[in-house]
């Protein structure tokens, strides 16, 4: 199941674990990424909390937690290659994984059609 936030994060849910990254739209607005600051694994976060920061040649942008849960993994592959967020934002360029406190809360997020509609 793929969901989106108004802040341009995507979330792919598998059981109670969600993989989170920034959308293609967000990476296009930022330009070429040069650095990603990760959250600490084991940290519990609330919805809307700043979890990571992505820095590009243009600007830095915060990445927010879409839902409440515990950060369980970060994508170490983008430390050496932050450009993966640009080339594969919704695949190999994911940023972190979170164990959701309540997986049913994903119903509060937008589906792809709703997300695309809010961009226009």
- pLDDT at residue 8 greater than cutoff 90: yes
pLDDT score at 39: 85
Question: Among residues 77, 68, 86, which one has the least CA distance to residue 30?
Answer: 86
- pLDDT at residue 101 greater than cutoff 90: yes
User: pLDDT averaged over the chain?
Assistant: 95
pLDDT score at 90: 92
- pLDDT at residue 40 greater than cutoff 90: no
Domain map (residue ranges) of the chain: 2-119
pLDDT score at 120: 80
* Paired strand residues for 30: none
Give the pLDDT confidence of 60-70 residue by residue, as tens digits: 999 999 999 99
Dihedral pair phi/psi, residue 119, rounded to 5°: -75, -25
pLDDT band of residue 2 (cuts 50, 70, 90) is very high
Residue 17: CA atoms inside 13 Å, Cβ hemisphere, count? 7
Distance (Å, whole) CA 78 – CA 3: 22
The count of residues in the chain is 120
Dihedral pair phi/psi, residue 17, rounded to 5°: -105, 130
CATH class as words, domain 2-119: mainly beta
- pLDDT at residue 100 greater than cutoff 90: yes
The answer to whether the CB of 9 falls within 8 A of the CB of 66 is yes
The answer to whether the CB of 82 falls within 8 A of the CB of 35 is yes
The pTM assigned to this predicted structure is 0.94
The answer to whether the CB of 45 falls within 8 A of the CB of 68 is yes
Dihedral pair phi/psi, residue 54, rounded to 5°: -110, 135
């Amino acid at each position: 199941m793929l969901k989106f936030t108004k802040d341009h994060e995507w979330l792919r849910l598998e059981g109670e674990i969600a993989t989170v990254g920034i959308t293609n739209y967000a990476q296009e607005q930022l330009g070429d990424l040069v650095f990603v600051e990760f959250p600490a694994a084991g940290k519990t976060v609330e919805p809307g909390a700043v979890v990571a920061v992505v820095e590009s040649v243009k600007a830095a942008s915060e990445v927010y937690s879409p839902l409440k849960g515990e950060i369980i993994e970060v994508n170490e592959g983008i430390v050496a290659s932050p450009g993966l967020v640009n080339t594969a934002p919704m695949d190999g360029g994911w940023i972190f994984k979170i164990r959701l406190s309540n997986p049913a809360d994903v119903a509060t997020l937008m589906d792809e059609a709703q997300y695309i509609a809010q961009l226009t």
